[in-house]
Amino acid sequence: MTEPHADSVAPERAPSASLPTGFPDDAVLPDVALELGGLFAEAGYELSLVGGPVRDLFLGRGVVDLDFTTNALPEQTQTVVAEWADAVWDIGARFGTIGFKKGEWQLEVTTYRAEQYDPESRKPVVAFGTELNDDLFRRDFTVNAMALRLPDLELVDPFGGMRDLAAGMLRTPGAPEDSFSDDPLRMMRAARFAAQLGFAVNDTVVQAMIAMAQRIDIISAERVREELVKLILADQPRAGIDLLVRTGLADQVLPEVPALQLETDEHHRHKDVYNHSLTVLEQALDHEADYVEAPDFVLRFAALMHDVGKPATRRFERSGAVSFRHHDVVGAKLVRKRMRALKFDNDTIKAVATLVELHMRFYGYGDAGWSDSAVRRYVTDAGDQLQRLHALTRSDVTTRNRRKAERLAHAYDDLEQRIAELLEREELDAIRPDLDGKQVMELLGISPGPLVGRAYKHLLEWRLDDGPHDEETAKAEVLRWWAEQPEHPSASKSSDSDD
């Protein structure tokens, strides 16, 4: 079963036959589903819309992906749709799934399955089934174990999925221990659905998650990562993260987060870092649309992880204060390590780590103010993450002291205004030294090598401190710098005369 992607848009749909009692009056099943059901019926096979699409029709969320199940074998499915579909492809015939396109719709049909997992294997061992109810029983949760038979639109709900949808409850069709033994990733999916749907999780399911949390270790990092991303992009990610922590799953897949549950000293000299981080994550959802296209994984994950360096850096000072010196730098290193373990791509890792490393940079601006040079460095160091850094910094204010919160908000308003003014005046987003490498080599009469890089770095630092300069001024500065370098010809002559 596939889930709707955050950036997916359902194709335009025409009205169709009435859905069974219990579905919202305005719920619409696309005609393409009825057409496909008719084709399978004419060929003598069963076909049902199954899982997420049925659930989402009931919830009024709109249908983006259409998943079907059938008693036809994969090769028989291909025969049925060959002339009707615009394109057909083999998604995974050995797992029973055939994909195809009809108009603007991408469809998947999977043969009934009686799937079993080797307890020590990451991959399923698939056996095709012959009964719809057996196929539904092996699905993860009752709300995903419903089907609409096509084309007659008979609702098949043997495990009370409709009842659980109405109650907002996640349960498994059978014993949760059996379900999670078959596929431990379903424990992650419970947290994801809690975040996506806002559902409570049945106590027996929670207890099974606690007892079996270590089973998640047999699941590949890539599959865990995909569930984590979907959770973070959900409407209520805090609920999902908190469930992972409460059940011990986070200890296996994201241990830096439960580690934030630092023991608060008796005088409460530092805030609850774990709940602070969850609050920052929630506030990032409020701020993200002002700065980036929502939902944004990089911003949200950085908000969750921004303080993961605190447990390793906590110190009790002689004064009685608690400090977390350099937790931003330590946190960035921990984030890189964890995201590599979860097989994230390098660009995403770099983006999140940059935000974690820079999330403390703003503090102090409101007290002492910054020079133009400091503002330039803030923008340059943030690079293409500047808008996300704006959102993260604002989200990181969780104080209950209204006057302090207002002061920090006004200070950041002022910083953003100064950045905007500098951007307009200096095109700060494209800062480069006033001379390029070729000009430096020609001016100094040197060949490509480390010395050119040092000169270029000096010009960049000089520009950040003083702003842009004309070419002649820049040439004079690089000549002044060159005269002070040990490689300069005058330096060797001076050394000879000293001898």
Same domain, 279 and 206: no
Q: What pLDDT, on the 0 to 100 scale, is given for residue 364?
A: 65
Confidence of residue 267 (pLDDT cuts 50, 70, 90): very low
pLDDT score, position 64: 76
Residue 493 placed within a domain: yes
Q: Report the C-alpha gap between 73 and 79 in whole angstroms.
A: 10
User: Do 189 and 283 share a structural domain?
Assistant: no
> Residue 164: what pLDDT?
96
Q: Which helix (H) or strand (E) holds 169?
A: strand 169-170
The verdict on 5 and 127 lying in the same domain is yes
Calculate the alpha carbon distances from 189 to 3, 230, 353, 417 in Å: 11, 9, 26, 43
Instruction: Tell me which residue of 383, 367, 235 sits closest to 300, measured CA to CA.
Output: 235
Query: Considering the domain boundaries, does residue 259 fall inside one?
Result: no
Domain boundary at 430, 461, 480, which?
430
Whether 263 is in a domain gets the answer: no
* CATH number of residue 180's parent domain: 1.10.110.30
Indicate if the pLDDT at residue 437 is higher than 50.
Answer: yes
Residues 74 and 192 in one domain: no
pLDDT given for residue 177 in this prediction:
96
* 299 and 414 inside one domain: yes
Q: End of a domain among 128, 160, 192?
A: 160
What's the rounded mean pLDDT across residues 264-268?
A: 47
Say yes or no: 241 and 352 in one domain: no
Structure-model confidence comparison of residues 325 and 18, the more confident one: 325
Span 300-317, average pLDDT: 92
Q: Residue 343's closest CA among 187, 219, 223?
A: 223
pLDDT score recorded for residue 8? 42
Residue that wins the pLDDT comparison between 14 and 173: 173
Quote the pTM value. Answer: 0.79
pLDDT per residue as tens digits for the range 349-382: 999 999 999 999 888 665 567 888 888 889 989 9
pLDDT at 17: 58
| Inside any domain, residue 321 | yes
Indicate if 304 and 358 belong to the same structural domain: yes
Domain match, 1 and 147 both: yes
Residue 5 is assigned to a structural domain of this protein: yes
Residue 55 inside a domain? The answer is yes
The pLDDT of residue 141 is above 80:
yes
Per-residue pLDDT at 431 exceeds 70: no
Task: Give the pairing of strands 169-170 and 200-201.
Answer: parallel
- Looking at the predicted structure, is the pLDDT value of residue 265 above 50? no
What is the pLDDT, as a whole number, of residue 394?
A: 94
Chain position carrying tokens 């659980």:
164
Judge if 100 and 206 occupy the same domain. Answer: no
- Between CA 400 and CA 409 the distance in angstroms is 13
Q: How confident is the model at residue 466 (pLDDT cuts 50, 70, 90)?
A: confident
Do residues 286 and 380 both lie within one domain?
A: yes
DSSP string for residues in 87-102? EEEEEEGGGTEEEEEE
Cα separation, 324 vs 302, whole angstroms: 18
Q: How far is 147 from 40, CA to CA, in rounded Å?
A: 16
Q: Which of 210, 227, 254 is the last residue of a domain?
A: 254
Q: How many domains does the chain have?
A: 4
Q: Are residues 193 and 297 in the same domain?
A: no
In a domain, 260, yes or no: no
In a domain, 20, yes or no: yes
143 and 45 together in one domain: yes
Range of the domain at 314: 269-430
